[in-house]
């Protein structure tokens, strides 16, 4: 059994103690982090080395964005795509196992897209849609068992948000974002592991605003995802969210997801 986790940590250096706690409590074989918010030469390697994550692949930049994949299993870097088309550090791909033999694991941080769902007045929203369209062209050519994980910044289903009617015009749940993400899904026939194991309409949220999490109403959205190639998706055996991390002191606004595969 192989376990793979993904977590938008919202600054790995600020929350390194929380990452260590998570790794000690859950012991995933691989951890994919998004929004590490540091350049590669500032990444806190020591803790991961101490816990046995000897294979580390960091694509970072100063203060913003950035992704890192940490593995206890043999791994090699496979790719770095600039789907943002502006040099931002938002992706790293690795191959688990022997070269040409193992699973490809893609770790991605899709842009949030700003506050206004109109590319004419909000260039960030257009960049998000263009990012997804570049990913779609890439997905059409995939010929290996692949798992793509990370912060997609889109809640695609009505039950992926606390109030569909209230959020249908809010960035992350608009019709054009959902349609564009659907085209990416269809380009490779991805299996949404979150909904394979936690079926519709069960609550399956991964993000809560800092402004509303502590209110009585549970206003979450499912923005973080783990999607697998069809054959690989058939090998997933369990999937869970670690919602307790959202209650830790000064937490990330996202929680980790873990999937176990029978490989």
Handedness of CA 158, 245, 55, 111 (dihedral sign): positive
The per-residue pLDDT for 92 is 98
pLDDT tens per residue across span 126-154: 999 999 999 999 999 999 999 999 999 99
Mean pLDDT to the nearest integer, 186-213: 95
Provide the CATH number for the domain around residue 82. Answer: 3.60.10.10
What range does the domain containing 130 cover?
Answer: 2-261
pTM of the model: 0.97
Q: Give the mean model confidence (pLDDT) for residues 107-126.
A: 97
Q: What radius of gyration do the chain's Cα atoms show?
A: 17
What is the count of structural domains for the chain?
1
Residue 177, H or E segment: helix 175-188
E strands, the chain, are 2-8, 30-34, 55-59, 67-71, 75-79, 91-96, 104-109, 146-151, 191-192, 207-208, 220-221, 224-228, 236-241, 257-261
What tokens were used for 25?
């409590």
In the chain, count H helices and then E strands. Answer: 7, 14
Under a CB-based contact definition with an 8 Å cutoff, are residues 15 and 250 in contact? yes
**pLDDT digit string, tens, across residues 73-92:** 999 999 999 999 999 999 99
d(CA 255, CA 243): 6
């Amino acid at each position: 059994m192989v376990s793979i986790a993904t977590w938008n940590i919202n600054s790995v250096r600020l929350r390194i103690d929380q990452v260590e706690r998570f790794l000690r409590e859950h012991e995933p074989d691989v951890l994919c982090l998004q929004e590490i918010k540091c350049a590669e030469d500032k990444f806190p390697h020591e803790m991961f080395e101490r816990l046995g994550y000897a294979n580390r692949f960091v694509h970072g930049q100063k203060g913003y964005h950035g992704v890192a994949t940490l593995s206890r299993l043999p791994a090699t870097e496979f790719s770095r795509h600039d789907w943002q088309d502006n040099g931002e550090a938002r992706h790293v791909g690795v191959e688990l196992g022997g070269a040409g033999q193992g699973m490809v694991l893609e770790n991605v941080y899709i842009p949030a897209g700003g506050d206004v769902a109109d590319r004419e007045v909000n260039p960030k929203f257009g960049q998000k849609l263009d990012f997804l369209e570049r990913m779609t062209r890439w997905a059409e050519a995939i010929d290996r068992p692949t798992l793509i994980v990370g912060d997609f910044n889109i809640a695609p289903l009505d039950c992926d948000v606390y109030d569909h009617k209230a959020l249908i015009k809010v960035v992350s749940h608009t019709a054009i974002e959902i349609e564009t993400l659907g085209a990416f899904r269809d380009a490779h026939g991805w299996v949404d592991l979150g909904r394979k194991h936690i079926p519709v309409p069960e609550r399956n949220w991964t993000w809560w605003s800092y402004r509303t999490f502590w209110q009585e109403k549970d206003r979450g959205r499912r923005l973080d995802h783990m999607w697998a190639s069809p054959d690989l998706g058939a090998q997933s055996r369990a999937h869970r969210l670690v919602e307790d991390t959202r209650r830790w002191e000064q937490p990330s606004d996202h929680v980790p997801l873990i999937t176990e595969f029978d490989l």
